[in-house]
Amino acid sequence: MKLATKRLDELWMRGKNFLGVRYAILGGAMTWVSERNLVSAISNAGGFGVLASGAMSPELLRTEIRETQALTQNPFGVNLITLHPRLLELIDVCVEEKATHVVLAGGLPPAQAISKLKDKGLKVICFAPALVLAKKLLKLGVDALIIEGMEAGGHIGPVSTSVLAQEILPHITQIPIFVAGGIGRGEAIVSYLEMGAAGCQLGTRFVCATECVAHPEFKKAFINAQARDAMISPQLDPRFPVIPVRALSNQASKDFLAYQKELIEKVDSQKMDSKEAQLQIEHFWAGALRRAVIEGDTERGSIMAGQSVGMVTREQATHDVIEELITQAKLHLQIRFHKEQGTLC
């Protein structure tokens, strides 16, 4: 395995150095899931955990960062939502608590947020759903990008991971790029590294880690699911655009459709204005994710999961998940090396 280990180290050296970790594997920031326990476990296992701040207040974020620092001495990141009304205050907290990397998600970040982080010496990572946006973010001075395909769980874009990788990786080489969406095995990680990625981000694969605080019923739903069960929430009326969410199909999925229909009828009968209807549609899932993750209501709650959910077959320690990915990656490289040398029996 020595040659395979050396080759893997070469492939993601840029990502390892940027993150300051042993393995250039980021943990996707999942609200209610990516908290201090899972994040620290990923970092302690050699990966790069990322705290999901979600709708946290600055005070709550400060506590979460401190508690995570108490559990790991290794680097981890903080995910901030760009639409958060107190974004700049959250950035202040990251600076004051000596965070090293911040991931800005949920839309094109304001230039002020990027410059404020960079002025304080923090590394800025942003999501790029298209080449044109990747180029724009590069001009704004971000330090790294994540390109996430529609195979991912939670809020997603319209383009697959493989297409995004082909569209962006050959053209943006100035900064590290991490690939995400539908990745569940080490062989896939290698394939994107060889295309030019600096590393990969995985979320769904870590939900059933033993350190994850998700409810046993939530984890059970993942273990029992197949890739085809992770469906995209549909939009019923173009007047009310819905950011697609990929989650396991359940009663909540059906309720969402019925809710959209109900609001559309109210607007058509002039019992509600369109702005209020749009707001209520967007807020439908508020609390639904917590209901599933924390309370274990897997029927009325939102079970956000990527299509790699079919590869989650049991509960494992975070360390074992990462080591399994590394073993798969190295074995893949070793087999190919022997094939090329004609020494594979």
pLDDT tens across the length of the chain (345 residues) = 889 999 999 999 999 999 999 999 999 999 999 999 999 999 999 999 999 999 899 999 999 999 999 999 999 999 999 989 999 999 999 999 999 999 999 889 999 999 999 999 999 999 999 999 999 999 999 999 999 999 999 989 899 999 999 999 999 999 999 999 999 999 999 999 999 999 999 999 999 999 999 999 999 999 999 999 999 988 888 887 777 889 999 999 888 889 889 999 999 999 998 888 877 877 777 678 999 999 999 999 999 999 999 999 999 999 999 999 999 999 999 998 888 887 655
Residues 71 and 171 in one domain: yes
- On the 0-12 / 13-18 / 19+ scale of CB atoms within 10 A, 336 is middle
Determine, yes or no, domain membership for 21. yes
Residues 85 and 228 in one domain: no
- Give the per-residue SS3 of 165-194: HHHHCCCCCCCCEEEECCCCCHHHHHHHHH
pTM of structure: 0.94
Residues 154 and 301 in one domain: no
Residues 55 and 143 in one domain: yes
Taking the C-alpha atoms of residue 63 and residue 119, their distance in angstroms, rounded to an integer, is 24
User: What single letter denotes the amino acid at residue 96?
Assistant: E
For position 343, what pLDDT does the model report? 67
Determine, yes or no, domain membership for 207. no
- How many domains does one find in the chain? 2
Residues 303 and 322 in one domain: no
* Cα Rg, the chain, nearest whole Å: 20
Residues 152 and 268 in one domain: no
Q: What is the pLDDT of residues 208-223, one digit of tens each?
A: 999 999 999 999 999 9
CB 136 within 8 A of CB 130: no
Q: Which CATH number belongs to the domain containing residue 75 in this structure?
A: 3.20.20.70
Residues 145 and 277 in one domain: no
Residues 16 and 140 in one domain: yes
Residues 59 and 147 in one domain: yes
Determine, yes or no, domain membership for 235. yes
DSSP characters over 148-162: E-TTSSEE--SS-HH
Determine, yes or no, domain membership for 45. yes
Residues 177 and 119 in one domain: yes
Residues 189 and 273 in one domain: no
Q: Which domain holds residue 259?
A: 216-307
Beta strands 123-127; 101-105: pairing state: parallel
Determine, yes or no, domain membership for 61. yes
CB 122 within 8 A of CB 97: no
- On the 0-12 / 13-18 / 19+ scale of CB atoms within 10 A, 64 is buried
Determine, yes or no, domain membership for 15. yes
Determine, yes or no, domain membership for 209. no
DSSP characters over 96-126: HTT-SEEEEESSPPPHHHHHHHHHTT-EEEE
Q: What is the pLDDT of residues 14-43, one digit of tens each?
A: 999 999 999 999 999 999 999 999 999 999
Determine, yes or no, domain membership for 74. yes
Residues 179 and 251 in one domain: no
